[in-house]
Every structure is written in structure tokens, then in C-alpha cells.
Amino acid sequence: MSLTGRIRRFARNAAALVCAASVAIAGMPAPAAAQAGGPPVIRDAEIEGLLRDYMLPIYRAAGVDAGAVEIVLVNSKAFNAFVADGRRIFVNVGTLLDSKTPNEVIGVLAHETGHIAGGHLARLRQRLDSAQTMAIVAMLLGAAGVAGAAAGGGLDGGNSGSAIMGAAMAPQEMIMRSLLSYQRAEEQAADRMAISYLNKTGQSAKGMLTTFQRFADQIAFSQRFIDPYVQSHPMPKERIANLEDLAKKSPYFNKTDSPALQARHDLMRAKLVGFLEGPQGVGRRYPMSDTSLPARYARAISAYRSSSLDGAIAQIDGLIASQPQNPWFQELKGQAYLENGRAAQAVPPLRRALALAPNATLIRTMLGQALVASGSPRDTDAAISELVRATARDSKNADGFRQLALAYARKNKIPEADLASAQAAFAAGDYGTARQIAERAKNGFKMGTPGWLKADDIASYKPVKLR
């Protein structure tokens, strides 16, 4: 490999640190659609709303604008959460499935909030800029020094190749270790900040300690093979010891979550199991002897996706009878009808769900989809109204824009349909397709009109490239 090639490899390795400010101690839910170049993302109104409620007190304690932070669900069973750009917290569904209490999730996300509030990613990028410059200089000087020694007879022919490689790579190794040491310090700072937020909000740090201890136990068998100086996070024993000392000093250490919040957490976990683990997984986690509401929720979801719809609807009606004001049970009934080709029957429960949760843009989107699928001109007009409202509140709602494009096409409003298709591709991160369709949409609008301006914004967008 050339010297330039080694520098580029160093830059790639270092840049990876920027996107890995992770909670890991070592190195909808319908099937998720992966965004272009991004992780496989799950959207669910119930879960997103619950996580928002978990985090609002933490954001206030951290001085973070809640409206500027988005929590993104990643369809991965691994236990992990991370901040990628200082305004989005990614959390794997495996973290939610493994966390028995809200406090465990809150502790993890409080740690990630510490990264945001502390500006850790911005500072890490600055250090990367400096490190890459230092790497280039150090490696050039190292190579020049070796070349000079070889010219002066200081190196014998048999060892010159390995000596040159060692001299060139040594500075890179030192700089990388320095960066990793810096990141370990930032991880410890985020731990301390998380505990301070929990204390300010009168919450326990026990859940945070529990989740980190669980992960530490999973990797304990391999600890003796780990070089502590090439890790981006503190070693488990050291981290747990520090956390335990801080957590147990809190007067709230033994405080538990409210019964209402715990009930919502249990339903959220059941929903994930029902959608992601299939009948066998549901049976293992919730045997038929378990008649709790979460168990019934998981079984109802599994039933509509894998067996008789009529039987599933009976189970969902039982859930609704238990909690008539629960919008998510109504949403589930509508979703079950819609995904089994009964769009007209899906509309009433979805309208009821939206009445109970009027700010749930994903329910509004599903209602719009059901109205589009029902096929009547009157329903198409209603669908456009609902989908315009849904996408106006949630610009990342790719499914909403896709359904809006279908509705406009049905009304023969082709420029509007093209614009909605471009917005759908843009929301999904497929910028090339978005630009192509947006250019076509511009031709259907008069220059300077709102539709033309929206299409022009997409057509001229150039995504920021990460290092």
C-alpha cells in the first residue's frame, strides 16, 4: 500500500469514530425499510411517543431543545444506542426489548443526551481534523527519515522494507490511540452528565447501571484478550465501578418508575415482540397461561399477521374493551384490516384512533392510505387532505408522501404527484432519484409558485458529505 493509501485508511478509520458515540461498553414495527445509505429504520407512533415522554424531562435538565432532537428506531436486535450528528439519537429495538423498565431506557438515552449537550461529536470532528493533518505530516517525515537512513547506509537491504513500514505506521498508531483515549474520556463525561440529569429530574440511575452491567457480563469472558488502549469506550469493570459509585450517592437510587409508565413500557415491548418475533417468539415470551394485557397485545398482533383475520379482530376487540381510550389498539384494528385488503373497514377504527391521538402523524398517514385504497373519488379527496396534514407535520414521512403521490395521480394532478414522489425519495435519503423526479415536477408548475419552489429546492439539494 502506498503512503497516500495508508493516510486515506487512517482518515477512514478515524472518521468512523464520529459516527460511533455509542453506549456500548465495548467495541413497525412493520418490516423496516432501510433509508439509502442509512440504517434500517422503524417508524411507530406509539413507541416514538413513549420515548419522547421518557426524554422530555431529561432534555430540560440538559438544556437541550427537545424539538431539535429526534429519536430514531433501528431494526436491530443488538443492544445499542448512539448519536450520529448531534441532533439524532439512534436506538436499536434490541435495547427496548432487553430493558425491563423505563428507567433502563431513560438511563441509556440520558447518556446519549450527554453527548449532545456536551458537543462531543463537534469536538471529536475538530480533533479528527487535527489528527489527520498530524498523521500526514508525521508519516511523511517518518518516511523521509527512513529514506534518508537507507541512503546513508543505516538500513540493511533485508530489513529496509519492514523498517520503512514500521516508521510510517508508528505515528499513525500513536495518533489513533490518542483519539481513542480522548473518546473514552468523552464517554465517561457522558456517563457523569447522564447521572446529573437523572438526579435533576428525580429519577434513579439504577436502570443505567443495570443496562451497562448486563452488557459487561456478556463480554466478560473475552476481557483478558482486549487491549484497553485500543477501545473507544472505558473498560467494563472500570466503567461499572465509576457508575456504581456515582449512582448510589443519589437520594433517588431506589426510586422506581410510576405504574402508568411501566404499563406503557410493557405494552411497547409486547408490540415489538408481536411484530418482530413471529408466533414462536410470542409464545416463548408470552405463554398462553399469561393473560396480562401485554401478552394479549403481542398475541393479537401475531394473529393478524400470521393466522385468521377474524380471530385476530376478536382479540383486538378484547383489547379495546379493556382500554376503550387507547388509540394504539384502535390503530392496530385499522392496520389489521388494511394489511388484509379490507381498506373500507380500516377507516372507522383509524378515525377513532386519530381522534384519541390527534398529533399522531403516522396514524393520519395510515388513515390516508386506507382512504386511497378504498378507491372512491370522495375518499381520495379526504385522503389528500389527511396526507397533506401528515406530511406537513413530518417532513421525513416517506410513506405519507408516497400515498399522497398515489392520491394526486388518481386525481390526474401529475405535477403534484411528481412533487410528492420526489419528496418521498428525498425523505428516504434517495437524493439522486429525488432530484430527477423534482426536475420533472418543475416543468408542470409555473415558475415561482409554491410547488415549483419546493421542487427546485429538491432538485438543487446537495447532501453534506461526511468525512
Q: What 3-state DSSP class applies to 183?
A: helix
Greatest Cα pair distance in the chain = 89
Walk along the chain (467 residues) and give the pLDDT tens digit of each residue. Answer: 333 333 333 334 443 333 333 333 222 544 334 444 556 889 999 999 999 999 999 999 999 999 889 999 999 998 888 887 778 899 999 999 999 999 999 999 999 999 888 764 544 455 445 444 444 444 444 444 444 444 455 545 555 555 544 544 445 555 454 444 445 666 878 888 999 999 999 999 999 988 888 766 665 544 443 444 333 344 467 778 888 888 899 999 999 999 999 999 999 999 999 999 989 999 999 999 999 999 999 999 999 998 889 999 999 999 999 999 999 999 999 999 999 999 999 999 999 999 999 999 999 999 999 999 998 889 999 999 999 999 999 999 999 999 999 999 999 999 999 999 999 999 999 999 999 999 999 999 999 999 999 999 999 998 866 44
Is 0.75 topped by the overall pTM?
yes
Answer yes or no: are the C-beta atoms of 30 and 275 closer than 8 Å: yes
Q: How far apart are CA 443 and CA 436, in angstroms?
A: 12
267: Cβ contacts below 8 Å, ≥ 6 apart? 46, 293, 294, 297, 328
A 10 A CB-CB count for 209 gives 23
CATH number of 259-459: 1.25.40.10
- Ordered alpha helix ranges (H), 375-449: 377-393, 398-410, 414-427, 431-442
Q: What 3-state DSSP class applies to 91?
A: strand
Answer yes or no: are the C-beta atoms of 122 and 86 closer than 8 Å: yes
Alpha carbon distances (Å) from 449 to 413, 446, 454: 15, 6, 9
CA dihedral 396, 399, 402, 407 (to 10 degrees): -120
39 Ramachandran zone, left/alpha/beta (phi>0; psi -120 to 50):
beta
Which H/E stretch holds residue 33? strand 33-34
Exposure string of 351-379, with b = 16+ CB inside 10 Å and e = fewer, is bbbbebbeebbbbbbbbbbbbbbbeeeeb
- Every domain range in the chain assigned CATH 1.25.40.10: 259-459
Nearest to 371 by CA among 358, 354, 394: 354
* DSSP type of residue 228: G
